């Protein structure tokens, strides 16, 4: 019986313990980056792209691609968790925080619906996307975000299941009444907290 055997066992237990801390219940780790899209990949030319804040606001705001890219960006490294059970640790993004986009917006709304090229929507409470919790990301691992992963820009809400991170996002509509988005209408959980395993309606 060698010390090596004992220390390998010890390292094994430690690894599992560290993994448990970062991987929500029912999830497994992937090294690659799976692509999950409910339809074809839209390819909007940057000259035609814009990002809009609308709905229950004092006046809508729209940024062209150049204007959007001139806003202050942040680099964030986060773990992401898909409801189909894959998790990917330590992904690095750059994007404009939703706090920055909502700066100076006067609204009584408590919810928003993110909408995308191609018609995808997802709903989020404003509380869940403000205070440094969500970004409109344009860069992934130092490169412009690829079309398959939502480029030119996608919502990034890493503390919720990844279906809330709308790819090809074009706008945020602020609403006073919560409205289910695409997957939420089809039975996915309204909130989608991976740490509470809020996968489907009724979880």
Residue 82 beta carbon to ligand MTE: minimum distance, rounded to whole angstroms: 4
> In whole angstroms, how close is the CB of 10 to Mo ion at the nearest point?
36
Count, residues near ligand MTE per rule CB under 6 A: 18
Any residues with CB less than 8 A from the CB of 160 and at least 6 apart, and which? Answer: 124, 128, 191, 192, 193, 194
Q: Which of 73, 168, 192, 198 is close enough to bind ligand MTE by CB under 6 A?
A: 168
Residue 118 sits in the site that holds ligand MTE (CB under 6 A) = yes
Partner that binds at residue 116, options Mo ion, ligand MTE, none, CB closer than 5 to 8 Å by kind: ligand MTE
CA distance 192 to 199: 6
How many C-beta atoms lie closer than 10 Å to residue 143's C-beta? Answer: 8
Please, which residue, 10 or 201, has the CB nearer to ligand MTE? 201
Enumerate residues 6+ apart whose C-beta is below 8 A from 100: 71, 72
Q: Which of residues 130-149 bind ligand MTE (CB under 6 A)?
A: 149
* CA pair distance 76, 69, nearest whole angstrom: 16
Task: Name which of residues 42 to 81 contact ligand MTE (CB under 6 A).
Answer: none
Residue 116, SS3 per DSSP: strand
Residue 199 touches ligand MTE, criterion: CB under 6 A: no
Coil, strand or helix: which one is 142?
coil
State both tokens at 122: 């997802």
In the region spanning residues 145 to 164, those forming contacts with Mo ion, defined by CB under 5 A, are: 163
**Which position has the token pair 């220390």?**
7
Bridge partner residues of 97 (DSSP): 135
Q: Tell me: does residue 30 bind Mo ion (CB under 5 A).
A: no
Using CB distances below 5 to 8 A depending on partner kind, what does residue 165 bind out of ligand MTE, Mo ion, none?
ligand MTE
For residue 43, what are the contacts with CB-CB under 8 A and spacing of at least 6?
147
Q: Smallest distance, Å, CB 29 to ligand MTE?
A: 14
Q: Is 186 in the site for ligand MTE (CB under 6 A)?
A: no
- Contact residues toward Mo ion (CB under 5 A) are 36, 82-83, 163
């Amino acid at each position: 019986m060698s010390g090596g055997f004992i220390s390998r066992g010890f390292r094994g237990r430690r690894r599992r313990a560290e993994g448990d801390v970062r991987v929500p219940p029912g999830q497994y780790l992937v090294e690659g980056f799976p692509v999950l899209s409910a339809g074809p990949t839209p390819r909007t030319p940057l000259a035609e792209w814009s990002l809009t804040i609308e709905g229950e606001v004092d006046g809508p705001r729209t940024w062209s691609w150049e204007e959007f890219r001139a806003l202050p960006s942040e680099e964030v490294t986060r773990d992401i968790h898909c409801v189909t059970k894959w998790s990917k640790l330590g992904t690095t993004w750059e994007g404009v925080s939703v706090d920055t986009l909502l700066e100076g917006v006067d609204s009584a709304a408590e919810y928003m619906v993110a909408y995308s090229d191609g018609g995808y929507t997802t709903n989020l409470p404003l509380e869940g996307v403000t205070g440094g919790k969500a970004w409109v990301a344009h860069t992934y691992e130092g490169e412009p975000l690829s079309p398959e992963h939502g480029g030119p820009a996608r919502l990034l809400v890493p503390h919720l299941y990844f279906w809330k991170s709308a790819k090809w996002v074009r706008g945020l509509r602020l609403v006073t009444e919560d409205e289910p988005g695409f997957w939420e209408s089809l039975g996915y959980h309204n909130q989608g907290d991976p740490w509470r395993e809020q996968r489907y309606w009724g979880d």
